[in-house]
Amino acid sequence: MNVETSGTASDKAGSTRRPERSHRGAMRVAVVYALVAAAWVLLSDVIVERSLAGSSAFAFAQLVKGWGFVVVTALALYALIRGHLTTEDAQSEALAALGQFRASVIDDAAIWINALDDQARITLWNKTAEQISGYTREEVLGNASIWAWLYPDPKYRAEIVAKANTIVSEGREITGLETEIRCKSGEVKVIAWNSRPLIDARAAVTGSITIGRDVTERRRVVLALLERERQLATLMANLPGMAYRSPADRPWQMRFVSSGCLALTGHRPEALTNGAEVQYSALIHPDDHARLLAQVRQAIEAGEPFEFEYRIRRKDGEVLWVWEQGCVVSIDGEPSLEGIVIDINERKRMEGELAFLAARDALTGLYNRREFLLHFGEEVQRAARYDRPLSLLLIDVDHFKSVNDRSGHQIGDEVLKRIGGVLQLEIRKVDYAARYGGEEFVVVLPEMDAAAALDTAERLRGLLAAVSMEDGEGRAFTITVSIGVAAFPADGATPEAMFEAADRAMYAAKNNGRNRVCRAS
């Protein structure tokens, strides 16, 4: 961390006391040496005078005394200088080792390391700091402009400095502080800082040391993940249904459901998660549950994705068609199901309408010819397999062309619709009527023999003859029909044979005067 601060008065006083102690030490050595030398001179003179005064050896003794002083002084000086040189060698070795440590550990470290003195001057700027910032050691050492270079925005720089000043002023450590610096190249990088004060032997703060890590890429990845999560949350919130996750061995025991489940099921996500209030499986329609479970298990065993349509019962009781698609995924080593469930109720309604329209005659609402042929063939097969009775009525409107010619096609369409309405209203639920084409209608009568079919045909003929219609000018008229009856298997053992028999009977009714019922013969 880059700190801008100044040293305290006690720090300055401490720096001036160090040369004073050195001066006093040197004075003490000089005084001791002077005292020892004086004592040597005085004592040696006294001893020589008392012992050899007036003797011929006096001069020789004086000579020995002088040279002895020189020798002793030389030995003392040798010992003093040798000790001093030994200390200097040791200090030099220590400094060399410290320099090697700095070069190998600090300068070559893979993280940014810088140090400040108590005057906020940079005293250390390693190679990684150079590489990250782009500024060399020579550019930043003792140069206060580095802070403006790294933090060009004054307001932002003031915020950083305010936090960093607490290192020196309060002796606090700063960890995990992320700042954006502007490198020499102009590139903006994100650095995570850990900084602590430098303490000397007297527990005084002499500066700070800082370690920085370039987390620009990590920040980019984190921001990208956050953006992805935001987009995913937005997507989940706008799904036309709900996304889910559940254990593979317990399908629909939801571990996660998206917020869309409220609109889909009427239950809050919290209610479905882990079955807090209701299990999703309890919402599945009973008629669909076993089939779905078998399909899911089959897909899990095959390791394949699955999709199917089924019904659920919402919280308000409404039955809803949904479409589910999912697959098996591995979450933390555990197989899970992930998928989406979408509301397809409107699609199903439209499909139902299309299916109805595809099977029905647009004018009368009865089955159309295609649907009649399909169902009639199935009814003949069932009657043959189980030896059950089956009858067919073929109805034709008498003089229908004259109705169209006299009153117009609109009135003719009304006639056909009235006939269709009577047939739908008067036949049994197991029976079904169809418009075969033009003015021809057919009625299929399952489980009905020839005699009962003749009675039904006669009843229908009478009901239709009683219908009163009006032409375009308000004139009343009635309609009549001719009906041919065929029974299985007496009149035909196949759909084609039965229809041909009923057709012959219908033409026989027309040839015999119309407005009557005839049995195939």
DSSP 489: T
- Rounded to a whole number of angstroms, the CA Rg of the chain reads 56
SS3 (DSSP) at 474: coil
Q: What is the C-alpha separation between 389 and 386, in angstroms, rounded?
A: 9
Sheet holding 319-331, edge to edge: 256-257, 241-247, 334-343, 319-331, 306-313
Cβ–Cβ under 8 Å, residues 307 and 300: no
**Bridge partner list, 478:** 468
Cβ–Cβ under 8 Å, residues 366 and 420: yes
Pairing assessment for the beta strands 241-247 and 334-343 based on DSSP bridges? antiparallel
Q: What is the C-alpha separation between 334 and 510, in angstroms, rounded?
A: 77
Q: What is the C-alpha separation between 291 and 101, in angstroms, rounded?
A: 74
Structure tokens at 106: 């600090």
What's phi and psi for 155, nearest 5 deg?
A: -65, -45
| Residue carrying structure tokens 């029976």 | 431
Q: Which amino acid is at 402?
A: S
**Active-site residue among 139, 227, 439, 473?**
439
Task: Give me the helices (H) in 151-240, please.
Answer: 154-169, 216-238
Long-range contacts of 505-514 (CB under 8 A, 24+ apart): 505/394, 506/394, 506/395, 506/396, 506/482, 508/484, 509/482, 509/483, 509/484, 510/396, 510/398, 510/482, 514/398, 514/399, 514/480, 514/482
Task: Give me the helices (H) in 102-215, please.
Answer: 127-133, 137-140, 146-150, 154-169
DSSP 47: H
Q: What is the C-alpha separation between 100 and 207, in angstroms, rounded?
A: 22
Task: Give me the helices (H) in 341-408, please.
Answer: 345-359, 369-386, 400-407
Angle at 451 between CA 445 and CA 455, to 5 degrees: 75
Residues recorded for the chain: 521
DSSP string, 269-307: HHHHGGGSS--GGGGB-HHHHHHHHHHHHHHHHHT--EE
Catalytic residue list contains 139 = no
Element containing residue 457 per DSSP (H, E) = helix 450-465
SS3 (DSSP) at 490: coil
C-alpha dihedral, 426 to 427 to 428 to 429, nearest 10°: -100
Q: Which amino acid is at 516?
A: R
Structure tokens at 341: 């469930």
Q: Which positions are catalytic?
A: 439
